[in-house]
Chain A
Amino acid sequence: MQPFTVLESLGCALPAANVDTDQLIPARFMKEPRSVGYGQFLLYDVRHDEQGAPDPEFILHRAGANDAEVLVSRRNFGAGSSREAAVYALVDYGFRCVIAPSFGDIFASNSVNNGLLPAVVEEDDAERLLTALGDHPAEINVDLVEQRIRVAEVDVPFTVSPVWRTKLLNGWDDIDMTRQHEETITRFAKDYARKFSWASPQPPETNIISKG
């Protein structure tokens, strides 16, 4: 994964609370293979009317939005389902950072696994950033080394868990990290199976073999 250090880009303001994963990508699009590019589904029902016509006023349809890599929103961003597709939609659209006062837990860890930084700011600071960005994509600087965000005169700190920061700074992948512990895992599994023998599921005597 591409390491994340300092991002100098355009930011979009999405001034809404509880932007849940069902809004980020409606479930009906999730049967598509990733190769089609999930960016087209991002916030689909929010930015299109019932006939599928795009709302020209919506921030993602403003000039410059295609180049934006940062999204600023309100509290509880990414609440709801565990669908990683919500992160794919953001990442495939081109976003590398979302800034909000709080995030859904699963969404935040999914983000980090895809190189997307979930930056947590104070509620007041989120409002200042939203105001500074206004209703058009505007310049923004996100510095993961210093943990600061700048838009024009506004300069605010953000937090991210130290573990996630390290992963993002280095562009690390979990599976690589874990396989270094293979021996420890094998030893643990053996001990565990002895200690909690009943926890290994035994198929019932009259098991059914499902073909699907």
Chain B
Amino acid sequence: MSTPTTLFDKVWRAHEIHRSESGQSLLWIDRHFVHEGSFHGFNKLGERALPVARPDLTFGIADHYVPTLARDLDGVADPKVRSMIEQLSYNTQRHGVTLFGLDDPRQGIVHVLGPEQGLTQPGLVMVCGDSHTATHGAFGSIAFGIGASEVAHVLATQTLWQTKPKVMRITIDGQLAPGITAKDIALTWIARLGADGARGYAIEYAGEAIRALSMEARLTLCNLSIEGGGRCGMIAPDQTTFDYLRERPWSPKGEAFEQACAYWKTLYSDPSAGFDLEVTLHADEIAPTVTWGVSPEEALPIDQALPDPENISDPAKARQARDSMAYMGLSAGQKLTDIKIDRVFIGSCTNARIEDLRAAASVLAGQKSRVPGMVSPGSTLVKTQAEAEGLDRIFIDAGLEWRHSGCSMCVGMNGDLVASGERCASTTNRNFKGRQGPGARTHLMSPAMVAAAAVSGHLADIRTLSSQASATGVY
């Protein structure tokens, strides 16, 4: 009998080309996504006059800098931004790489597009110059973000040197109560273990509550692995995964799909496989959660109040809490539901898939948002789908802007910014200082919670909001 092996180890082993004496592994890369920021990597390749080793395994996606008001470059006022998008088109075309550009009806945020197109599959090793690449692990692949030097390395060799991380398992037992989402699971474990709690680890999510999640929700959960410091996040593929992948444009077809499926079914952690760390939570412990500070670890259930730094015994933590509150313009002991907001944003690779938009729309239906805000679908196909379902009307009628797909206000470099001092309830993944614009204050939460904040004008508890929202039962 072979030794019990974790899901992570199974996939890692299938990709290990060579192991150096010092213990580093040279890994084979199945998919490499490049966005506008890849120009540094392409320039490095150019300096050595090297070709792209495997253009067939490389995919270009315009998302980080694309305008969300219109779909053409004429609307982009900043020539530097325009040049970023043009460089991606140029670099991909020159090297024979498939591009999902601004003109493409399949365009979208890389971590939404990959799964949607069926490019993301179980058992692969996938990389992209973006830390939220961890998202793709929802299918049982090893997926992680890399820097520009590594982008150049993958372009040149289709391989990457990596030191094998330790493996931890986060198990969520039981069933999530209505209104509790993958976003809440993530913010809860990160608050508990810290923003560096999973540093040095690959994470596998397991347990009854995880198995019950839809593909979209699994993507949200794995997406946030990096916010807890994890190298990547994975979920073993199962029927939900296979059903999602069947008939996707780039999925294997016919006989090949059946072969692939037979292999994918072997991708799980053997029952007695050992993990370097095990963390278990019960679904009952998870409430709708929001961040109040400037690190994703500064998160609390919505029915609580801000901590008092005076009562925090660890001086480093107390100092951090004080500093975060000063930046966020909040005070000790303030109730979360008393925090007034200035705007909302629904978007990003974390929470802008069709389910997310439905969840937000179910709360906003027939209501008015008390603050301005923006909705940017995760991909152009999600946008089309949402429009077919009439969700765009709900957002527009509530007073929100319905935009095109892109990274938009998640990162604030395409013109979509939160003004200095403004407070934004956001479905994104980072509440770092200045992430959504200089001086911007970000509170992270699920799409339904953002919608609840929009109709209330302040952070609000989705569970106590309105019976009419829960009656639809969508969220």
| B413 sits at the interface (CB 8 A) | yes
**A125 contacts B by Cβ under 8 Å:** no
* B316 partner, pick from A17, A30, A31, beta carbons under 8 A: A17
B residues within 8 A CB of A197? 256, 259
Residue count of chain A within 8 Å CB distance of chain B: 64
Q: Are B438 and A45 in contact (CB under 8 A)?
A: yes
Given A184-B18, A199-B30, decide whether A210 and B430 contact each other with a Cβ distance below 8 A: no
The answer to whether the Cβ of B217 comes within 8 Å of any Cβ in the partner chain is no
Contacts of A28 in B (CB 8 A): 412-413
Please, which residues of chain B bring their CB within 8 A of the CB of A34? 40, 43
A163 within 8 A of partner (CB):
yes
**A210 contact from B104, B253, B320, B433, Cβ within 8 A:** B104
Question: In whole Å, how far is A99's beta carbon from the nearest beta carbon of chain B?
Answer: 16
Contacts known (A50-B420, A212-B103); A20 close to B24, Cβ less than 8 A: no
Contact (A202, B149) CB under 8 Å given A184-B18, A208-B105 = no
A17 to B194, CA, bound (A): 12
Residues B140-157 near A (CB distance < 8 A): 144-150, 152-153, 156-157
Which one, B77-85, B178-186, B341-349, B456-464, is touching chain A?
B77-85
Give A28's nearest chain B residue, CB to CB.
B413
CB distance from A13 to the nearest CB of B (A): 14
With A79-B195, A106-B131, A201-B57 already in contact, the answer to whether A17 and B320 are too (CB < 8 A) is yes
Contact partner of A76 among B37, B40, B163, B196, CB < 8 A? B196
A77 to B433 Cα, complex, angstroms = 14
Are A83 and B263 in contact (CB-based, < 8 A)? no
Closest partner residue, chain B, to A161 (CB atom): B163
- Complex Cα gap A196–B141 (Å): 14
Q: Are B161 and A177 in contact (CB under 8 A)?
A: yes
Measured in the bound complex, the distance between the Cα atoms of B198 and A39 in whole Å is 31
Instruction: Let me know if A189 and B158 touch, CB within 8 A.
Output: yes
A194 within 8 A of B: no
**Bound form: Cα–Cα A82–B41 in Å:** 13
CB-defined contacts of A188 to chain B, threshold 8 Å: 17, 28
Scan residues 64-104 of chain B and give those whose CB is less than 8 A from a CB of chain A. Answer: 65, 78, 80-81, 83-86, 88-90, 92-93, 98-104
Q: Which residue of B lies closest to A48 (CB)?
A: B438
A212-B85 contact in complex given A113-B150, A198-B259, C-beta closer than 8 Å: yes
With contacts A83-B37, A201-B250 known, is A185 near B157, CB below 8 A?
yes
Known: A18-B195, A26-B434, A163-B24. A81 touches B131 (CB 8 A): yes
For A174, the chain B residues whose CB sits under 8 A away are 149-150, 153, 161
Render B120-137 as a binary contact track against A, CB cut-off 8 A, 1 for contact.
Answer: 010110000111010000
Structural contact, B22 and A178, CB atoms closer than 8 A: no
Chain A CB within 8 A of B445 CB: no
Bound Cα distance A105, B159 (Å): 19
Complex partner residue of B200 from A20, A81, A105, A181, CB under 8 angstroms: A105
- Residues on A with beta carbons closer than 8 Å to the beta carbon of B372: none
Docked CA distance A88–B55 (Å): 27
Contact between A113 and B18 (Cβ–Cβ < 8 Å)?
no
Q: Contact between A23 and B26 (Cβ–Cβ < 8 Å)?
A: no
CB atoms of B159 and A185 under 8 A apart: yes
Interface: B138 (CB within 8 A):
no
Residues of A within 8 A of B226 (CB): 80
Interfacial chain A residues near B123, Cβ < 8 Å: 196, 199
**CB distance A82 to B130 under 8 Å?**
yes
On chain B, the residues within 8 Å of A50 by CB distance are 420, 438-439
Which A residues touch B31, using CB under 8 A?
201
Once the chains bind, are A82 and B146 in contact (CB under 8 Å)? Answer: yes
Interface residues of B in 318-360 (CB under 8 A from A): 320, 323
Contact of B434 among A23, A179, A204 (CB under 8 A): A23
A147 contacts the other chain (CB 8 A): no
CB-CB under 8 A from A84, the residues of chain B are: 40, 129, 147-149
CA distance A158 to B145 in the complex (A): 26
Contact indicator B156/A27 (Cβ below 8 Å)? no
Query: Are the C-beta atoms of A199 and B48 separated by less than 8 Å?
Result: no
Specify the chain A residue showing the minimal Cβ separation from B90: A212
Checking A80, A166, A179, A201 against B56 with a beta-carbon cut-off of 8 angstroms, the contacting residue is: A201
Chain A residues closer than 8 Å to B110, beta-carbon distance:
none
State whether A76 touches B157 (Cβ < 8 A): no
Interface residues of A in 84-118 (CB under 8 A from B): 84-85, 87, 102, 104-106, 109-110, 113-114
Q: Is the Cβ of B430 less than 8 Å from the Cβ of A22?
A: yes
Tell whether B199 is near chain A: CB-to-CB under 8 Å: yes
Residues of A within 8 A of B316 (CB): 17, 74-75, 123
In the complex, A63 has a CB within 8 A of chain B: no
Please indicate the chain A residues that have their CB under 8 angstroms from the CB of B57 in the complex: 200-201
Q: A163-B22, A163-B23 are in contact. Are A203 and B89 (CB under 8 A)?
A: no
Cβ-defined contact, A81 with B130, below 8 A: yes
Known: A106-B131, A211-B103. Contact between A79 and B229, CB under 8 A?
A: yes
Residues of A within 8 A of B252 (CB): 198, 202
Q: In the complex, A84→B22 CA distance in Å?
A: 25
Q: Is B411 an interface residue (CB 8 A)?
A: yes
Check B86 against A212 for contact (C-beta < 8 Å): yes
Query: Closest 10 A-B residue pairs measured CB to CB?
Result: A212-B89, A110-B147, A113-B149, A212-B101, A84-B147, A82-B145, A84-B148, A210-B104, A198-B252, A198-B260
Extra A-B contacts (10), CB below 8 Å, given A18-B295, A82-B145: A20-B295, A22-B430, A31-B65, A76-B195, A106-B131, A184-B18, A185-B157, A202-B252, A211-B93, A212-B62
26 contacts between A and B (CB under 8 A): A17-B320, A22-B435, A27-B413, A31-B83, A50-B420, A76-B295, A80-B430, A82-B146, A87-B147, A104-B229, A110-B150, A114-B149, A162-B23, A163-B22, A163-B23, A178-B161, A181-B17, A196-B123, A197-B259, A199-B30, A199-B124, A203-B250, A208-B104, A210-B101, A211-B101, A212-B86
